[in-house]
Amino acid sequence: MLDKIFLLLTGLLAAYLCWYFWRRYNLNKALHNLYYLMGFAVLLVSGLLLIFLGLGILSSPYVLTVASLIPLGISMGIAEEYFPSWKKAFKWFAAIGFLAIAVTSIGGMDALKKIAVPLFHGVAGLVIFLGPFLAKGAPKGFFWVGVGGLLIGLGGIALAFIAMGAQLLFFSPAFVMLILTPLLFLMAGAFTIGFTRKG
């Protein structure tokens, strides 16, 4: 029951951020807002699926593939908005990463999946974590996005290791399942503060 409460709260924050970025996109048509919107729309849908179908769906290769759009979308938004010199290269990296995760996960290529998932999730997570601290001209409160990036990175990498039948440090399957929904809520809260604070 507690898991569903955390997932519901996460979904409400994700829904608010979807509305926020859609409104921002309609104001200035800036592409980065669409990337952010994509990431949080997938978070919203993922949260609803977890509420209705349970945490067991995390083992599905289709869920793993679609969920990868959360870090990839948010990291592409950060690259687009604050790092124009390498945004084009990062878009290619994200596209290749999504295809690699999809093909290796759905195709059952476990050996290649063990490389693709941590590599592309890890790099996207680093962009979300470090980007807000390095971004020039960002609002002061934007560092909260980096905090959210750290949380999503830890949770995502731990889940990826579990999906591959391995364990990351002390992140056992039971421990990850225990902390996953509160972690998602804290992550969504950090993102909400970071993206909506103006000063």
pLDDT per residue as tens digits for the range 24-82: 999 988 999 999 999 999 999 988 888 888 767 767 778 778 888 888 999 999 999 99
For 168, the 3-state DSSP assignment is strand
Distance CA(69)–CA(42), nearest Å, equals 7
Tens-digit pLDDT profile for residues 71-97: 899 999 999 999 988 888 988 988 888
For 140, the 3-state DSSP assignment is helix
Percentage of the residues of the chain whose pLDDT score is greater than 90: 38
**Locate tokens 């919203």: which residue?**
44
Tens-digit pLDDT profile for residues 141-187: 999 999 998 887 776 666 666 555 555 555 666 666 677 788 889 99
Alpha helix positions (H), 83-109: 87-106
Predicted TM-score (pTM) of this structure: 0.87
Residue (of 29, 28, 56) closest to 180 by Cα position: 56
Biggest CA–CA distance in the chain, Å, is: 46
